Amino acid sequence: MREIVFATNNKHKIEEVKAIIGERFILKSLDDIGCDVDIPETGNTFHENAMQKSRYVNLHYGLDCFGDDSGLIVESLNNEPGIYSARYSGSRDMEKNLSLVLYKMQGENNRNAAFITVISLIIDGEEYSFEGRIDGKITEEKLGDSGFGYDPIFIPSGYAKSFAQMSAEEKNQISHRAIAVKKLTDFLRSR
């Protein structure tokens, strides 16, 4: 079975990706390879940030790896929080980030939003990219207590409940990360 490093220590992301990839690959985290560096995300796009992570691991550890960058974009907020999703309020406190989005959306009729994930894969010295996107709406208040990040304020198109009201299995069938990881997995299986 092939080993591949996911350039993150975010346990929620690792669990989601493991559930999607299944048993075909041995998925390792940054902790698993002894990397305790907070890899910088200084790019201007999700793609640039994802590449910084995969390139860092490949350069310093010589391992096949992938990095991702994900975020919420809200149409009426000029696509904020975007690449700053994890630190939108100036901190990594997700409650503050959620509250700031809801505060800025007060009285706003256009609640269109999307979650985006970009994965940058480096395998056998070659670099590839995969994107997942799911459109939806921002709620007026937090709904549900599952998931993580902005899940309680995002209802995907075609659904009547937020990501945080869905089971992990249900979310993993439709999420932006699931779409990108499925593309990654299909690519890896085809090699």
Residues 6+ apart with CB under 8 A from 186: none
Specify the DSSP class assigned to residue 64: -
From 36, 69, 151, 186, the catalytic residue: 69
Determine the 3-state secondary structure of 31 from DSSP.
helix
Token pair of 19, please?
A: 């559930």
Q: What is the H or E stretch that residue 181 is in?
A: helix 176-190
Residues 6+ apart with CB under 8 A from 48: none
What is the C-alpha to C-alpha distance for residues 57 and 48, in angstroms, rounded to an integer? 15
Token pair of 33, please?
A: 């390879």
Residue 151 bears catalytic tag: no
Give one DSSP letter per residue of 117-176, joined into a string.
EEEEEEETTEEEEEEEEEEEEE-SS---SSSSTTGGGEEETT-SS-GGGS-HHHHHHHSH
188: number of CA atoms within 13 Å, CB side?
27
Do residues 19 and 79 lie in contact, with contact meaning Cβ atoms separated by under 8 Å?
A: no
As annotated, the active-site residues are 69
